[in-house]
Copies of this chain bind each other. A is one copy, B any other.
Amino acid sequence: MALRNALLVSIAGLSLGAHADEGMWMPSQLPEIAAQLKAAGFKGDPKDLADLTKPPMSAVVSLGGCTASFVSPQGLVVTNHHCAYGAIQLNSTPDNNLMANGFNAATREQEVSAGPAARVLVTESFDRITDRILEGARGKTGRDYYDAVDAASKAAVAECEQDAGYRCSVANMYYGTDFYLVKQLELKDIRLVYAPPEAIGNYGDEIDNFMWPRHSGDFAFYRAYVGKDGKPAPFSADNVPYKPRAFLEVSTDPVAEGDFAMLAGYPGRTYRHRSAAEFADQVQVALPGRIDLYGALIDTVEGAAKGDAEAGVRYASQLAGLKNNLKRAQGELDGLRRSDAVGVKARDEAAMLSWLDAQPDAAGSRADIDAAGAVIAQSHATRERDTLFATMRSQTQLLKSALQLQRLAAERGKPDAQRERGYQQRDEALIEASLKQVQRRYSPAVEKAVLGELLSRYYKLPADQRIAEVDAVFGGDIAQAKAALDTLYTGTTLGDEAERLRLLAAAPADVSASTDPLMQAAAKLLPAELRIEDADKTQEGELLRLRPAYMRALVGYRESQGQAVYPDANSTLRVSYGKVSSLDPRDGVHYTPLTTVQGIVEKHTGEAPFDAPKPLRDAIAKGDFGSTADPALGTQTVNLMTNLDTTGGNSGSPVMDANGRLIGLNFDSNWEAVSASWMYDPRYKRAIHVDVRYLRWLLAKVYPAPQLLQEMRLPAE
């Protein structure tokens, strides 16, 4: 109870930049924070963590969207079941459903391809090239600044990719302050080695998603193969296992609350270093607005589909997406309010600016900071309108198809490299797939209702926000718009798949000459789309130019307090450290940091998603846990909770102990931490992992894979 009291008291004193366990550090920063890393309990040399060619960091890889790690010298890779789901699905047949049954290749020969798109990316270098990227941009502003950075980045990537077998990218750190060239070995022959049944790998599914206590065996094994020459190569039966520079040793020690833990991975996106004004906007305007819009769209779709069973089925997925977005937005808003993120950030920024004003070269920085604030305010001024316009495309099927077809026709007039992203040759297959999908996801009544709702909101905007092209197509008020929608959807033949595919294949001139009313409407709307896109890039360019002043001030201010600053997440390799942690999610409730197989039995209903397979239930009932049992609990653990700093993209990240040995696989966060993309609140930020002892037990006793245990040099039971 003393702990609880301490936590309650700490609410008032919550501040930024002061939490020992917050941070998604670039590996190169770790020597800088060596003292705090050692104080937290890390037993290795922090310098080793900075070297991407050495263990353990060289064992941590990206799957593109997920993280994974090598766990044997023979290219064995462990990641989440949900990260390998596509590969599992791909290899499933009605007779051999790997999703339902799991997969266990007894020999190398039985390993199956994860598909031609599967990748394992090994980051080999990470070099600061700020000067090269900004050289041509300096002195420029707005769109010109944006284009200069874009061109320099593309050139650096092209040069780097001259080295065959590598994929390169430029990462923007601290919002335009620094740029790094990331060079990754691109392994292309990836094979599925082992996966538990979905009823284990995704036990609890959507119901348990974001929830603790958790009981999921969310893991799977891949193996990376290369050509006989050791170089990356597409799938071939002749290929041989890739020999990584390093692999992680799997721990055989118990884990308990308070133990040091660290994690490496590729977190996607955070907003921790946004300005106080952006925090306030997010809580006071952006999220409430998003919640209002999602709520209205849900009501609209449900209302329009009511009594029409077929429409209900066709919009089920779109509705589920809207509801999920609504739930997340509400969770983020609740969390940010609970943490008083606006107040905490405002106080921190005010202190930082006071500090800045006392510095010799403050004036120029303040000018940039204020200018950045003005650009942001300007973008917020038209945000509601821009969102409504973008939503007319994103939440429709037929109008979206028409806009896609017109845009593609326009882009096809340019050399491929100059086409807008999403409309290059390599994107056309995706466009075709999306044009085909329309058939299963569209009902004219619902689409008209959605557009009616969006347009009725549009007509309530101030007059100076009107988009001439929208008015030209839909008229000047909602009554005219409804009539226009009736005319458009009665007259269009885009509901016919053959017609859409004909237009996809047609010459650009034929597309623009189409007399289909919806195609003509899209042609009229296209200039507005392009104009808004250009304004976005202009603003983006200005912010690339101006935000670094804010970031430099923040870094300087923290430095003056003896603290380092990690950059916001951007899908590059990062390291977090912290400890195995319980959670007090609300008054009267305490969550322990380890769950056990008892919870699987408690949740089991016999129906998905709580349909624990019989072999698992039998093994639990038998209670034969061998060396994988937790000595303190006297039973088998399943999942593990830490306070590690994570976000989307950290799925599959290896969780390591103080000696860098694998103790868990990250796979989710808790509901109370949905707002952590903006603010790390030490009271509520937790990460959820598979306890590697559960993985070991499943491999030893439930769906045995002695060959894998042997390969990882683990006890057979």
Contact = CB atoms under 8 A, between A and B. Distances in A.
Interface stretch (A67-75, A393-401, A408-416, A590-598): A590-598
A589 B213 contact: yes
B587 A9 contact: no
A602 interface: yes
Interface stretch (A373-381, A537-545, A632-640): A632-640
A158 interface: no
Contact of A1 (B2, B8, B633): B633
A4 interface: yes
Interface residues of A, number: 29
A500 interface: no
A5 interface: yes
A215 interface: yes
A155 to B, nearest CB: 52
23 contacts: A1-B632, A1-B633, A4-B633, A5-B632, A5-B634, A8-B598, A8-B634, A8-B635, A9-B634, A212-B588, A213-B588, A214-B588, A215-B587, A587-B596, A587-B598, A587-B599, A588-B592, A588-B595, A589-B589, A589-B591, A589-B592, A590-B591, A590-B592
A586 interface: yes
A123 B570 CA distance: 74
Interface of A: 1-2, 4-5, 8-9, 212-215, 256-257, 586-592, 594-596, 598-599, 602, 632-635
A617 B590 CA distance: 24
Contacts of A8: 598, 633-635
A13 B313 CA distance: 51
A590 B632 CA distance: 17
3 tightest Cβ-Cβ pairs between the two chains A and B? A213-B588, A587-B599, A590-B590
Contacts of A1: 256-257, 592, 632-633
A463 B591 CA distance: 56
B633 A213 contact: no
A9 to B, nearest CB: 7
A661 B8 CA distance: 30
A257 B2 CA distance: 13
Contacts of A4: 592, 633
A308 to B, nearest CB: 15
A295 to B, nearest CB: 15
Nearest to A215: B587
Nearest to A602: B586
B633 A5 contact: yes
A37 B386 CA distance: 73
A602 B587 CA distance: 8
Nearest to A11: B598
Nearest to A256: B1
Given A8-B634, A589-B589, 15 more contacts: A1-B257, A4-B633, A8-B598, A8-B635, A9-B634, A212-B588, A213-B587, A213-B589, A586-B599, A587-B596, A588-B592, A588-B594, A588-B599, A589-B590, A590-B591
A589 B213 CA distance: 7
Contacts of A591: 588-590
A260 B598 CA distance: 30
A12 B586 CA distance: 32
A669 B329 CA distance: 35
Given A632-B1, A635-B8, A213 B590 contact: no
